[in-house]
Structure 1
Amino acid sequence: MIFGYARVSTADQTTNAQNDALQAAGAERLFQDSLSGATRARPQLETLLAQLRPGDVVMVTKYDRLARSLRDLIDIVEQIGAAGAGFRSLAEDIDTTTPAGRLVFHVFGSIAEFERARIAERTREGLAAARKRGRVGGRPVALSPEARAEVRRMRESGSQTVAEIARIFKVSRSTILRA
């Protein structure tokens, strides 16, 4: 069976043009969501993926209708493939039911993996350079060493509760417990 999936970002948009193109390309059953692609929880997409059987095909007009990023696209297409189904994008002419289509898709995946590795490498280099200049990342400490010592003294004396100490130092209870 060929399943068509259409998505629009806002409620005032319609999937009519996508639906027409999917039906013209042979989609037998349509699923559609009306929400941002950045939203991972897409109920109709999840329903479609749950119904996939070997030999089925998931078709979209453009791959950005299915996924919010290349990594997300790869994850979804892997999920489709794990069900024994194929993926087809009309605009990009990607069809994982053919050897050439699988090759193109895997080239996309390789490029995405390379780019993720480069981003991680540049991030590590930037953090190392910042450390050399004496900069430390992360959130500033809530309590100075002196304040931590005072918190410990107050807790050991038992004169005040954790909540009272937290109010005095204007921090959360968990910060006091960690101190």
Structure 2
Amino acid sequence: MRKIGYVRVSSVDQNPSRQIMQLEEIGVDFLFQEKVSGATQDRPQLKIMMADLQKGDTIFVTDLTRITRSTRDLFELVDQIKGKGANLKSLKDTWLDLSEDNPYSQFLMTVMGGVNQLERDLIRMRQREGIDLAKKEGKYTGRVKKYHKNHAGMKHAMELYEKGNMTVKQICEITNISPASFYRRLREHRENN
């Protein structure tokens, strides 16, 4: 019966210290941590933790948003944990405790998972509204292109291509530009000329 902690922050510049401290205070035996967006399914440390999970283990998180991406993701994860005879506990969401055969726990998990999903959806909706407003006001230009027409590497790649004595693969290797980016720039160049 091991206590396993799981810590996740969304980006490299976020600090997991608060989560780590809270989990160390309860005396976890193992701590898995990663810096990856919760929106992605590629969470290597979560996969390793789930593969190593044993009967009687309890996974501890500071709150549900650290381990799940959506309500559906929560239910799939809970099914996997229950299937291994293990438990999941959240320090913030104290109602969550899979160790009890309590119909209220499943009900609350459904409601709270839905609330978390609603919160994420509202954030995305407000973000879209903000972008739309900024576009109307002429303040939003979108993401800055990595390989703009004045990018030194892209300029060099185009010069090498125009000389005609190298393959696209060779040019991309020399300039460290992906073939997709090169072909996109080449298409733009041809359309403009």
**Contiguous gaps of at least 5 residues in structure 2:** 115-193
Alignment partner of 1:109 is 2:131? no
**CA 1:105–1:33 in 2, change beyond 3 Å: closer, same or farther?**
farther
Equivalenced residues, count? 112
**Cα displacement (A) at 1:25:** 1.8
Unaligned runs of 5+ in 1: 114-179
Q: Go from structure 1 to structure 2 and tell me whether the alpha carbon gap of 1:111 and 1:87 turns closer, same or farther (over 3 Å shift).
A: closer
Q: Report the counterpart of residue 16 of structure 1 in structure 2.
A: 17
Q: How does 1:1-179 map to 2 (within 5 A)?
A: 1-93=2-94, 94-100=96-102, 103-109=104-110
| Secondary structure of the corresponding residue to residue 3 of structure 1 | strand
Q: CA deviation at 1:112?
A: 6.5
Following TM superposition, by how much is the alpha carbon of 1:104 offset from its aligned partner in structure 2, in angstroms?
1.7
Distance change >3 Å, CA 112–CA 32, structure 1 → 2: closer
Question: Offset at 1:33?
Answer: 1.2
Deviations 1:42-75 (A, max 9, x none): 0000000000110001110000000011111111
**Root-mean-square deviation over aligned CA pairs:** 2.0
1-structure distance, mates of 2:79, 2:3: 17
Return the offset for 1:5: 0.2
Q: Give the aligned residue type for 2:45.
A: Q
Alignment partner of 1:73: what SS?
helix
Cα distance in 2, alignment partners of residues 61 and 35 from structure 1: 16
Residue 99 of structure 2 aligns to which amino acid in structure 1? T
Distance 1:51 1:39 in 2: 21
Q: 1:110 to 1:63 in 2, by over 3 A?
A: closer
TM-score (norm 1): 0.58
Q: Which amino acid aligns with 1:99?
A: D
